[in-house]
Amino acid sequence: MPNTRPDRVGEAIRDELSQLIARDVHDPGIGFLTLTRVSVTPDLQIARVYYTSLGDEKAQRETARALQRATPFLRRQIGQRIRLRRVPELAFFYDESIARHDRIEQILQDLKAEAGARGDGAAADAPGEPNGGDATPAPPAAAQSGRDDPPGHE
């Protein structure tokens, strides 16, 4: 839960912007849009709104232009809905962290598929795995030392 004033104001702005974009902004350039976070400066003068959208690069550029066109309207509406002395300037930024996360996930999936294609259970051939690696199981921990020395006399 946000506990500093900029965090609370950012959450309130994100909630209001989500409702405004879904209900009141009728620009066809704004496609399916998700507001991921809003970062407000400590002096509450600038709100950086991070978003993601579906579509290719061209659709993302069109969404950015549509958000820039809608910024004055959105700022006026925020001023009417949230009680602040001065309404922060809104700056919209495409959030690339989701795309990076998806790319990393895709690379991990490819590595897993490649390991599976190398052999039937290439991961199971690693030592220490059940039925893989060594043909004989490792002895229990108590029987490994073979000594009956008390602890601390190694």
Average pLDDT over residues 128-152: 51
pLDDT, tens only, 66-117? 999 999 999 999 999 999 899 999 999 998 887 788 889 889 998 888 888 8
For residue 54, give Cα distances in angstroms to 47, 95, 105, 144.
23, 12, 18, 58
- When mean pLDDT is compared over 1-15, 115-129, 132-146, the highest value belongs to 1-15
pLDDT, tens only, 8-41? 999 999 999 999 998 888 888 887 888 999 999 9
pLDDT value, residue 121: 53
- Asked if pLDDT for residue 125 goes beyond 80, the answer is no
pLDDT value, residue 143: 46
pLDDT value, residue 148: 54
Domains of the chain: 5-101 (3.30.300.20)
Say which residue, 86 or 134, is predicted with more confidence: 86
pLDDT value, residue 81: 92
